[in-house]
Amino acid sequence: MIGEVLDPTGRGIPGAAVEAKNQDAPVNHSTVSDDEGRFVFSLLPPGKYQLTVLKDGYSQAQSTLTVSVTESVRLSIPMKIAGLTQSVQVHASVSEVQSDSVALGRVVESHMLQGLPLASRNFTQIVDLSPGVLTGVNNAAELGPGGSGLAQINAGNDGIFVHGSRSYDNSYEFDGVPVTDLQASNIASGGVPIPSPDAIQEFKVQTGLYDVSFGEHAGASVSLVTKSGTDQIHGSAFEFFRNNVLNANDFFRNLADQPRPDLKQNQFGGVIGGPILHNRLYCFASYEGIRQINGLAADQPRIACSGTVILPPLTNDRSAQTLGAMFAGMNGQFGGVSIKPEGSNINPVALEILNFKLPDGSYLIPSPQVVNASLPLASQGLSTISTRVATMRIRSSRRKRGHRSRSSPGVRLQGLQWEAASQSSRTEGLSAPVLHESLIS
């Protein structure tokens, strides 16, 4: 916060006592204006503040303003000569233009996170609200939190691209702690931690021209601030429910005359915050649990549960004679010897692969569920495959904040804040449960 205290003639008032009080928690910051009436509050936590200015011979002036993450607020506070009225409520002139920074970006606040539809409650799905950010279309059938927040190293993940830079050039910072996925190896490194949207106070996506204090990459800098406790107890609970009976069938499964795949999901949890020691110590905690049975997720970097296959009109008779009659006179994709009508020159290894069966007795290369004889032979068959995967995801956060302040020319803040993040995953076969954990404490 950068400001100046002015007298009725527009000149600066030196030695004015300026106090900034957080309206959500009794946290006070004090300073004194310099010889030209200017004052600065550095590194204020985001939130709403009430500013009070006192100076002998002048009426008390008060104003309210909001401080957003990564941004500086510049304002001018006029004061009146003391008279019968000893306190004056003023509307300080707050500049809407960030004249102290040329960084490009946009702040996304808590009410936007709760009001906008998030397909899998993953905040990275709306970073493209900032100009210059390009992402893919979110898929509500994704497994767990989906692929958002992962670097694009294969076609199964769209990635987040800012002003044409690569998706692994973005940096992330949660409550001042860097959490960038430096390895950027997609499923192997797990991407960035994803807190519950109800635990996020706000975040800002800076897309360019930001200073060296943010990130170490050429793409965007995402700065996120989680909520903290206040002097009053506040909390909420939620449950998001999905079930097969509420879902429409997939287009390709309808085309293959297949039933709707399993997609059952429960997302539940809550947040609570309040004081531990009045005016001194506060806490905030959040919990979110996800229970999901998914047979619809397709082409995901984490795991795929369904897919569509286009293939020739194979049958359960895969002898050399039958295949020879079907493909007689045809060459391979890159040319080669034509297949004989009796199939005598079909490679025996190819025959073994075509006839290989899975433990349940089905073919590894399936026979098509639907055959359209009007298409070219190689693409006449269509099959859709679905395998159920059970998923459990836990997202929790805990935050404590202690505070002690003194009224002096400079603010003295003593307390304890810490943030740590970890994310792990375990996969045991296609149909085994998958566990994703994300912890911010």
Partner residues linked to 433 by β-bridges: none
pTM assigned to the model: 0.65
Give the residue with greater pLDDT, 324 vs 430: 324
Token pair, residue 151, equals 């670097």
Same domain, 60 and 82: yes
Domain span at residue 44 reads 2-94
Same domain, 143 and 211: yes
Examine the fold and report which residue of 68, 94, 120 is the final residue of a domain before the chain moves on.
Answer: 94
195-237: pLDDT as tens digits: 888 999 999 888 887 777 776 778 888 899 998 888 889 899 9
The one-letter amino acid code at 338 reads S
Classify residue 309: in a domain, yes or no. no
Same domain, 426 and 398: yes
How far apart CA 349 and CA 334 sit, in angstroms, is 18
Same domain, 260 and 228: yes
pLDDT above 70 covers what percent of the chain?
76
- Whether the pLDDT of residue 159 is over 90: the answer is no
What's the pLDDT at 429?
A: 28
Same domain, 89 and 113: no
Same domain, 56 and 18: yes
14-46: pLDDT as tens digits: 999 999 998 877 778 999 999 999 999 988 888
Same domain, 58 and 158: no
- Closest of 1, 62, 43, 51 to residue 22, by C-alpha: 51
Token pair, residue 265, equals 């999901």
- Whether the pLDDT of residue 411 is over 60: the answer is no
How far apart CA 202 and CA 305 sit, in angstroms, is 34
- Whether the pLDDT of residue 119 is over 80: the answer is no
- Confirm if 209 and 104 have CB atoms less than 8 A apart: yes
Place of tokens 């950068």: 2
Q: What is the DSSP letter of 252?
A: H
Same domain, 244 and 127: yes
Examine the fold and report which residue of 94, 118, 136 is the final residue of a domain before the chain moves on.
Answer: 94
How far apart CA 59 and CA 426 sit, in angstroms, is 65
Same domain, 217 and 347: no
Classify residue 99: in a domain, yes or no. no
Classify residue 194: in a domain, yes or no. yes
Same domain, 242 and 174: yes
Same domain, 195 and 274: yes
